[in-house]
Structure 1
Amino acid sequence: MRTVLADARRGHPGLYGLTIAMAALALGTAVLAVFDQRELLGAQLWFKPLKFSISIALYGAALAWMLSRLPQRGMWRAGWIITAGAVLEMVIIVGQAARGVRSHFNDDSVFDAALYSIMGATITVVWLATVAIALRFLRERSADRVTASAVRLGLLVGLAGMAIGFLISANGGHAVGVPDGGPGLFLVGWSTTGGDLRIGHFVGMHALQLLPLVAAGLAALGHDRLDEASGLRIVRIAAAGYAGLVVLVTWQAMRGQPLLAPDAVTLAALGALLLGTGVALAGALRRSPVPTTA
Structure 2
Amino acid sequence: MLRWHRPLMLSSGLMALLAVALLVPFVVDERTLDGMPLWAKPLKFAVSVAVYSFTWAWLLSLQRRDRRWGRWAGTVLAVAGVAEVAVIVFQAARGHRSHFNASSPLDAALFGAMGLMIIALMLANIVAAVAVLLDRQADRPTTWAVRLGLVISTLGLAGGGLMLGPRPGQSLAGGIIGAHTVGLPDGGPGLPLLGWSTAGGDLRVGHFVGMHALQLLPLVPLALAALSRRMPVLAPERVRLGLTLTAGGGYAAVFALTVWQALRGQPLIQPDAVTLAAAAAVLVAVLAGAALSLRPGPRRADAGDVTKITASAATAGAVR
Task: Provide the TM-score with structure 2 as the length reference.
Answer: 0.85
1:88 to 83, 87, 95: 83
Cα distance in 2 for residues equivalent to 1:141 and 1:212: 14
Query: Which residue is equivalent to 1:156?
Result: 151
Q: Which amino acid aligns with 2:280?
A: G
Match of 1:180 in 2: 186
Say if 1:174 and 1:197, in contact at 8 Å, map to a contact too: yes
Alpha-carbon distance in 1 for matches of 2:46, 2:204: 16
CA distances 1:62-94 after superposition (whole Å, capped 9, x unpaired): 111111101354311111111111111111000
Deviation digits for residues 34-83 of structure 1, max 9, x if unmatched?
11111011110000001101111111111111111013543111111111
CA distance in 1, matches of 2:185, 2:159: 18
Q: Is the contact made by 1:226 and 1:288 (CA closer than 8 Å) also made in structure 2?
A: no
Runs of 4 or more above 6 Å deviation: 289-292
Q: Distance in 2 between matches of 1:261 and 1:141?
A: 42
Counterpart position of 2:60 = 67
Instruction: Please give the alpha-carbon distance, in whole angstroms, between the structure 2 residues aligned to 1:183 and 1:289.
Output: 55
Pairing 1:220–2:226 present: yes
Deviation at 1:19, TM superposition (A): 1.0
Alignment partner of 1:202 is 2:208: yes
The match for 1:274 among 261, 270, 283 is: 283
- The unaligned stretches of length 5 or more in structure 2 are 168-177, 305-320
Q: Specify the code of the residue in structure 2 equivalent to 1:205.
A: M
Give the Cα separation in 1 of the matches to 2:287 and 2:91. 45
Distance 2:14 2:90 in 1: 16
Letter in 1 for 2:78: T
Which deviates more from structure 2 when the two are superposed, residues 222-231 or residues 171-180? Answer: 222-231
> Is the CA contact 1:226–1:289 (under 8 Å) kept in the aligned structure 2?
no
CA–CA distance in 1 between the matches of 2:227 and 2:127? 32
Query: Does 1:25 pair with 2:18?
Result: yes
- Which one has the largest radius of gyration? 2
Q: Which amino acid aligns with 1:147?
A: T
Distance 1:52 1:221, change over 3 A: same
For 2:63 and 2:131, the matched residues in 1 are separated by 9
Moved more, 176-185 or 10-19: 10-19
State the percentage of identical aligned residues: 49
Please name the residue that 1:247 is paired with.
256
TM-aligned CA deviation for residue 142 of structure 1: 3.2
Cα displacement (A) at 1:137:
2.7
Structure 1 unpaired stretches of 5+: 1-5
What is the rounded CA distance, in whole Å, between the counterparts of 1:267 and 1:222 in structure 2? Answer: 33
SS at match of 1:173: coil
**Cα gap change, 1:190 to 1:289, in 2 (>3 Å):** farther
Assess, with a 3 A threshold, how the Cα gap between structure 1 residues 218 and 107 changes in structure 2: closer, same or farther: same
Q: Using the alignment, how far apart are the partners of 2:56 and 2:123 within structure 1? A: 14
Deviation at 1:213, TM superposition (A): 0.6
Equivalences, count: 286
Aligned partners of 2:98 and 2:111 also within 8 Å: yes
Select which of 33, 39, 42 maps to 2:32: 39
Is structure 2 residue 197 aligned with structure 1 residue 191?
Answer: yes
Worse-matched range after superposition: 168-177 or 56-65: 168-177
The answer to which of 229-238 and 272-281 deviates more is 229-238
In the other structure, the counterpart of 2:311 is: none
CA RMSD of aligned residues (A): 2.0
CA distance in 2, matches of 1:57, 1:139: 25
Q: Which moved more, 1:150-159 or 1:164-173?
A: 164-173
